[in-house]
Structure 1
Amino acid sequence: MDTVLFFIYLAVMAGVTYLIRAIPFVLCKGEVKNVFIRSFLTYVPYAVLGAMTFPAIIFSTNGLVSAIAGTIVALVLAFAKKGLLTVAVGASAAAFIVKMAEMFII
């Protein structure tokens, strides 16, 4: 890639990123009083995090079965209010065990 073209892409990306963050501050001077908008803005970070994380979970292993097993274990442990480390280790262990079982069965 040409160096000049790279810096043009970089400048456009930086400008777009800045505008996305700066426009809400310019447009919304006061406190948001609408209950619907406040609740919507409360849940946006969780929805974005889920949308970014879920595909990575599914494609993290070479097999769909082990990825689903890890996801199920993680969801069960999370709903049981276990800590983040417990959920991560439990999901990883479940995916590992299922993957090893797949290797020995096939």
Structure 2
Amino acid sequence: MKSSLPLIIGMLIVTYIPRFCPFWILSQKTISPSMRKFLFAIPYTALGVLIVRGVAESSSEMVIPTLAGIGTAAIFSWFGRGLIFSVLAAIFITYVTLCLS
């Protein structure tokens, strides 16, 4: 355990620095409205990529639950409910659809 502690602390520092630097750099500058809009769209873009990948990998048995999850995520994202809420709602609807079918 004692020999693992320096390794764990080193990995903590190495992974924390790239996460902290953008916040530190951007906190000292003003961001243009177009850049702010671009940064705001990144989580929804990531959600879209994950959904498309999930659709491509889904089996033929789960067509209806997959479409229900996609539709739910799209509707909640479109109405601006937030990324986490959209994902949780899609997971819930997919689960319910799987249980009912």
| TM-score normalised over the length of structure 2 | 0.54
Number of positions where the alignment pairs a residue of Structure 1 with one of Structure 2: 89
Q: Which residue of 2 aligns with 1:73?
A: 68
Partners of 1:69 and 1:94 within 8 A in 2: yes
Q: Which residue of 1 aligns with 2:94?
A: 91
Q: Percent identity?
A: 19
Computing the radius of gyration over CA atoms, which structure comes out larger, 1 or 2? Answer: 1
Q: Which runs of 5+ in 1 are unaligned?
A: 99-106
> What is the RMSD computed on CA atoms of the aligned residues?
3.7
Partners of 2:51 and 2:70 within 8 A in 1: no
Write the distance in 2 (CA, Å) between the matches of 1:80 and 1:48: 16
Q: Which runs of 5+ in 2 are unaligned?
A: 77-84
Write the distance in 2 (CA, Å) between the matches of 1:50 and 1:80: 12
Once the two structures are superposed, the pairs formed by residues 1-106 of structure 1 within 5 Å of their partners are 4=3, 6-28=4-26, 29-33=28-32, 35=34, 37-49=35-47, 54=51, 64-81=59-76, 87-98=90-101
User: One-letter code of the match for 1:69?
Assistant: I
Partners of 1:66 and 1:95 within 8 A in 2: no
| TM-score normalised over the length of structure 1 | 0.52
